[in-house]
Amino acid sequence: MGVISSHEWGTLSISEVVLVVPCYNEAKRWDKSHWHEMTSIPQTSWIFVNDGSTDETQKTLTEIAKNPNSEVVELPINGGKAEAVRQGLLRALQTKDQTQPPRWVGFIDADTSFSPKEIPRFLQIAASLEKTEPAVEAIWAARVALLGRDIQRTAYRHYVGRILATLMNSAVPQLPYDSQAGFKLFKHDSNLIQVLNKPFKTRWLFDVELLQRWQATTGSTMTIWEEPLNYWHHTEGSHVSAANSLQVLKEIAFLYGQRPRKG
């Protein structure tokens, strides 16, 4: 579909879901066959956001932009995953032709942690949840090592994740079990545009900050359906490292300070 700058909004092909893929220096680990399979999934459109990469990512994404259901947004400088996701979601939500907007928008990590088979399954879940009461406003993937599932996550990351989740629960009520899985869907909603209008203050925990903003905007918590993945494999270099732990703790403190006051 083409390569555009972050300020050139065009028209996406009509689809059930538009998925944003934040990309930064992905050229060496890019799996062409994986993304060919991903972008061939019916009823999907794709926005690949090149977040100021300094390698050959732009060249790699130019090839994938030739697909009729895919396009690339080029950000001039690296703003981090949070900003890349925000820009991509706004792109999906604010296309010029809104006569038939996508029913769902979302994002998924650029690595190969997620299986392409999960996308159609989540689309089926989204369709089945369309008429539930209360209305489901988002579907978040969860990396839970249930029997019969292929979830490969190191014990260190699992336990660190649970500690961080416990700390974050004090900042955001009803936080999903796995708030940091990199595959999330959101129902097309004008409130979501308002939530995304300003850059996030957090770099690593923007998913949680988004929930806080939603509550501040709508006066209620976002209704989330959390769906366990059938497949997820840890990919080196694609997730929060131990070196970033201090920054993550600072962001938790920030979110705690932003929590709604009682009374």
Instruction: Identify the band that residue 55 occupies on the pLDDT scale cut at 50, 70 and 90.
Output: very high
Domains along the chain with CATH numbers: 3-258 (3.90.550.10)
Mean pLDDT of the chain, nearest integer: 86
Of 153 and 127, which is predicted with more confidence?
127
Considering only 81-85, 96-100, 136-140, 143-147, which range has the smallest mean pLDDT? 96-100
**pLDDT tens digit sequence for 108-133:** 999 989 999 999 999 999 999 988 88
Mean pLDDT for the stretch of residues 199-208: 95
Q: What percent of the chain has pLDDT over 70?
A: 84
Q: Over 90: is that where the pLDDT of 27 sits? A: yes
DSSP class of residue 212 equals H
Mean pLDDT for the stretch of residues 146-167: 72
Residue 166 has what pLDDT? 73
**pLDDT tens digit sequence for 65-75:** 999 999 999 99
